[in-house]
Structure 1
Amino acid sequence: MNIAYSSCPNDTFVFHAWAHGLLPEAPKLNVTYADIDKTNQWAMNKEGPEIMKISFGALPWVLDDYNLIPCGGALGRGCGPLVLLKDQSENPASLSGKKVAVPSERSTAYLLFRLWAAQNVPDGLGEIVVLPFNEIMPAVRDGKIDAGLVIHEARFTYQHYNLCLMADLGEWWEKDTGLPIPLGAIIARRSLNVDDVTKWIRKSVQYAWSNPAESDAYVMEHAQEMSAEVAKQHIDLYVNKFTEDLGEEGYAAVRALLGRAAKEGLVPSISGGSL
């Protein structure tokens, strides 16, 4: 069976057991490591492996061909994307007409940013530029763009670039809705048995929690020069109860995000029975 997920510590931690044949009843897993922007495109083009980690922001475009798997993904609190500037400013209106870099236009981070901007930047944003997430902070630091929307471990490292925080979009979302932030989703082609895929992923999550040290070498092998401390922070932040089971609260968060985004014309509407 083929799967694509990122090299980020939360993904390698979650899938370590299945990828290394530690779940006796599960089929052999062939792994492709790919940034979420790439898997989003594969899913929308009906390409790529049968199972993929994509952004919840891309989900409305792919539900005709894929099922949402209720585990293995990333939702949480205190883990939202950040809006960063080179110089301190607490006034969102200062972004009016400015050039902003984002990691994807098919991501939860982008949807949160646009929903936040609709409330807080009355005169509208300027140019939106898509950059790989690891290039955004250097571009803000070097003055190539006015502001950057960052994700992943940038939460822990943006100070190293002497950047200033304008807004924590996770904090804004949680205050506005009371719900966790839906970030990364696991999807599987509709030809696969959802119950089987769910069982294998959930067992992989549970194995990771029961044997946390076993995945250390695998996590750090793919951690892109990240320190072990930052990798652990990353895992602790993004792997939580929603990774094991979306549950009612998780599904409510997904519906809230995609429902609001549809009203703003950012994504297609999802019928009630699709989630």
Structure 2
Amino acid sequence: MDDALKDALKIAYSPCPNDTFVFDAWAHGRIPGAPVLDVTFADIDITNGMAERGEFDVLKVSYAVLPWVLDEYALLPCGGALGRGCGPLVLTREPGLDLTGKTVAVPSERSTAYLLFRLWAADTLPHGVGKVVVLPFHEIMPAVRDGRADAGLVIHEARFTYQQYGLHSLADMGEHWESTTRLPIPLGAIIAKRSLGAGMLRQLADAARTSVRMAWDEPEASRPYVREHAQEMDPSVANQHIGLYVNEFTANLGDAGYAAVRGLLTRAAAEGLVPPLSPDALNFV
């Protein structure tokens, strides 16, 4: 094994275009002095489980999993995904379906999408849904189309492709969140082990921020990496995906970003969906 890789930090993030775009420069050693990375690709439901088991040094996870992992991991103030107009959708076969008592397929119960869905349902469905079933996200639209679920909660590129399945958007979870909070939608977070120490955590944040800015400055440089891992996604959809999920909050959470994260997790805790956060849980170092 190469000596540099032997000492590299183990990181896992998704093969989605936003992550490969953000991490391209860093993963390929184009940031002078940045920690070397040993990259594993895994969907976010897998990385959420890795975080709960304390695996890997750095992980891209759902903000929804933070209440279970912040004792061991610190939230980095950059590199993640927040935004506006990019929330999960609830899809149905027929427009305007009343979801009371119906079955809804979701990609995970430890996801921001699920928390947003439950908060939306608490506000709009006084009698609740009938049953929630967990399916891999790529199986959700076929399940709704084929009648195996009455509705499906979808994320990412499904926002652009659901009409190909003959489905209708019943509600936009992000739109509901933004209209009720005026805050951006917190989706994916970058976390790193606190045991790495404050100095290394700052280096990681600096490298993540630099990698984002390099991707913006030279978008063509990342295209081979994005294309390699985009799982046959249409290039125009990949570009839309990057445009939605890589923005100013990726470079710096800022006050609005932190308010969005705390707001989501505080509301979710009030509904009994996640454990409550301690006052300093989101502190970086």
Give how far 1:78 is off.
Answer: 0.2
Q: What secondary structure, in the 3-state scheme, does the structure 2 residue paired with 1:70 have?
A: coil
Q: Equivalents in 2 of 1:27, 1:70: separation in Å?
A: 17
1:133 CA drift (Å): 0.7
- 2:174 pairs with one of 170, 173, 185: 170
Which among 141, 146, 149 is matched to residue 137 of structure 1?
141
Describe the superposition over 1:239-265 as per-residue Cα deviations: whole angstroms up to 9, x where unpaired.
Answer: 000000000000000011000000000
Corresponding residue of 2:34: 26
SS of residue paired to 1:97: coil
Runs of 4+ in 1 over 4 A off after TM superposition: none
- SS of equivalent to 1:4: strand
Unaligned 5+ segments in structure 2 are 1-8
Structure 2 counterpart of 1:61, one-letter code? W
Q: Which residue of 2 aligns with 1:156?
A: 160
TM-score (normalizing by structure 2): 0.94
The answer to whether the 8 A contact 2:78-2:251 is kept is: yes
Which residue type is aligned with residue 20 of structure 1? H
- CA deviation after TM superposition for structure 1 residue 150, in Å: 0.1
Equivalent in the alignment of 1:190: 194
CA distance in 2, matches of 1:200, 1:249: 22
Q: What's the secondary structure of 1:272's corresponding residue?
A: coil
- Please, which of 85, 95, 100 is the counterpart of residue 92 of structure 2? 85
| 2:77 is aligned with 1:70 | yes
Q: Which runs of 5+ in 1 are unaligned?
A: none
Is residue 2:264 matched to residue 1:257?
A: yes
Q: How does 1:211-226 map to 2 (within 5 A)?
A: 211-226=218-233
Q: CA deviation at 1:27?
A: 2.3
* Residue 245 of structure 2: aligned partner: 238
Deviation digits for residues 121-141 of structure 1 (CA, Å, limit 9, x no counterpart) = 111111111111111001100
Q: 2:280 & 2:191 partners in 1: Cα distance?
A: 16
**Which residue identity lines up with residue 189 of structure 1 in the other structure?**
K
Q: Does 1:210 align with 2:214?
A: no
1:124 to 122, 128, 140: 128
Identity across aligned pairs (percent)?
Answer: 65
Q: Is the 8 A contact 2:74 2:193 kept in 1?
A: yes
Instruction: Write the distance in 1 (CA, Å) between the matches of 2:234 and 2:99.
Output: 33
Counterpart for residue 113 of structure 1: 117
Give me the whole-angstrom Cα distance separating, in 1, the residues matched to 2:126 and 2:152. Answer: 19
The DSSP-based 3-state class of the residue aligned with 2:144 is helix
Aligned: 1:8 with 2:12: no
Q: 1:158-194 CA deviation, whole Å, 9 max, x = no partner?
A: 0111100100011111000000000000000011222
Matched AA of 2:18: N
Q: TM-score, normalised by structure 1?
A: 0.97
- In 1, the alpha carbon distance for the partners of 2:231 and 2:94 equals 28
Q: Is the 8 A contact 2:35 2:203 kept in 1?
A: no
Secondary structure of 2:171's counterpart equals strand
Contact 2:140 2:152 (C-alpha < 8 Å) held by counterparts: yes
In the aligned structure 2, how far is the partner of 1:251 from the partner of 1:257? 10
Question: How many angstroms does 1:272 deviate by?
Answer: 1.2
Counterpart AA for 1:33: F
**Distance in structure 2 (CA, Å) of the matches to 1:65 and 1:103:** 25
CA distance in 1, matches of 2:38, 2:211: 15
Give, in whole Å, the separation in 1 of the partners of 2:232 and 2:95: 29
